[in-house]
């Protein structure tokens, strides 16, 4: 029996390993893919928001609007403002959230024939701006731009839990009221210096 020299044994071993490696690579590239292809879906569209539009608009009602809508969109959905609308306290650029209420006030000299509009007008006419955020009722707070029913309730809950506001800037501590809304309402709110 002839014994191979050591260098030949190494060459033979390397040749066998190279052949096995080459066969494995061929099998890997020629084999069928396993499993199913992964498909990436686009992110879901945000759900529409529901907003209550009332006051001096053509068709007061609850409207579904796309996420990211503004007060102007809500007023347009309600048919636009009436000729006797008082829009100076309304921020048409304010963003809306689900559950907000947009109240378009009437001018003080309006004599509306619609009882609901008349009540809204009287509520607006009886409110003196700036509002004292330590004593304002929920209905009065809802007259502020960007403050709907839920935010008005949050303001009242905050002051009942934490005591009266000592500065108007503290209203930004109320959940849902950030710098944008504060900018819209800062000239319409105040605090009584002698609570």
Q: What is the pLDDT of residues 91-132, one digit of tens each?
A: 888 899 998 889 888 875 444 445 544 545 444 445 677 889
Alpha carbon distance 134, 160 (integer Å): 9
Instruction: Give the burial class of 122: count Cβ atoms within 10 A of its Cβ; 0-12 exposed, 13-18 middle, 19 or more buried.
Output: middle
Tokens of 173: 């501590």
Strand partners, 188: none
Percent of the chain at pLDDT exceeding 70: 82
Q: What are phi and psi of 166, to 5 degrees?
A: -105, -20
Alpha carbon distance 124, 55 (integer Å): 9
Instruction: Report pLDDT for 112.
Output: 46
Contact criterion met (CB below 8 Å) for 28 and 7: no
CA dihedral sign of residues 175, 135, 127, 140: positive
pTM over 0.75: no
Half-sphere exposure of 85 (CA within 13 A, CB side): 19
Query: Tell me: the pLDDT tens digits for 74-91?
Result: 999 999 999 888 887 788
Walk me through the domains of the chain, giving residue ranges and CATH numbers.
45-125 (3.10.20), 127-195 (1.10.150.320)
């Amino acid at each position: 029996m002839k014994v191979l020299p050591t260098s030949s044994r190494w060459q033979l071993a390397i040749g066998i390993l190279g052949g096995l490696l080459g066969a494995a690579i061929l099998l890997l590239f020629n084999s069928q893919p396993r499993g199913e292809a992964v498909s990436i879906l686009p992110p879901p569209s945000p759900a529409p928001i529901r907003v209550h539009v009332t006051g001096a608009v053509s068709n007061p009602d609850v409207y579904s609007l796309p996420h990211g809508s503004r007060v102007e969109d809500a007023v347009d959905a309600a048919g636009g403002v009436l000729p006797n609308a008082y829009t100076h306290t309304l921020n048409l650029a304010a963003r809306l959230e689900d559950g907000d209420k947009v109240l378009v006030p009437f001018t003080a000299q309006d004599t509306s024939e619609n009882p609901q509009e008349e009540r809204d007008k009287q509520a607006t006419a009886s409110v003196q701006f700036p509002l004292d955020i330590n004593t304002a009722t929920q209905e009065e707070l809802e007259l502020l731009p960007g403050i709907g029913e839920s935010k008005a309730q949050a303001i009242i809950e905050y002051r009942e839990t934490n005591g009266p506001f000592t500065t108007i800037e503290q209203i930004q501590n109320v959940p849902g009221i950030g710098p944008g809304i504060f900018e819209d309402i800062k000239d319409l709110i105040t605090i009584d210096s002698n609570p």
